[in-house]
A and B are shown apart, each in its own frame.
Chain A
Amino acid sequence: MNKVIFNEAFCKGCQLCIDVCPKKILALDTEKVNAKGYNPISCTDMSACTACSICARVCPDSVISVERG
């Protein structure tokens, strides 16, 4: 399965990745707060990920890695 992996500690909750994901499967996890004080990014449906990696390329803080599996 394709996979997006998040380095949550680096996420600043800017939502740029959410805006560009063609599958609209990214969302901030409002149940969590990271050490920086932000709700970090999460994936709502990993099975829909096409591993296009647009989110990872757009994220200014290199939070996202993408695997094609």
Chain B
Amino acid sequence: MIKFTLNGKTVETSEDPNTPLLWVVRETFNLTGSKFGCGAGLCGACTMHIDGMASRTCIMPVAAVAGKNITTIEGLGTPDEPHPLQAAWVEHSVPQCGYCQSGQIMSAAALLEQNPNPTEAEVESAMAGNLCRCGCYPRIKSAILATAGPALAYNAAKRTGSEAEA
């Protein structure tokens, strides 16, 4: 049994330990917001946070995340309570086909956690691992830069909230 925390809940799985985390999350835990794009860590569609770091989970064996804290797009925000980045994605009409956007947003959220006020070049560099075949890059960049402040405040509030609950 491999145990880890998924969007705040402790879960365990008896999957083959070599199975990439992406497939365990999608098939066993039925969270399908994280996508399969390349299976080689090249496109970023599968990006989740592992202990706060944006990580490519299509090449991450589930055994490697034992005891770790995993956040998926479903854990970041919901249609009723979107994360500020998700709200900005709507405001800027970022998505086209939308398939890569979960991964884009997870990379962006990790960036803003670590660097609340990134420059344009820092955004480009942090987001270079996430492919968008529809070419939404200018809007992704605008949405991230427009969100930097509010996202920070939101995350701080959320952390305080979860501490209060604990």
A, B co-complexed: no
Chain B residues at the A interface, C-beta cutoff of 8 Å: none
Residues of A that sit less than 8 Å from B by CB: none
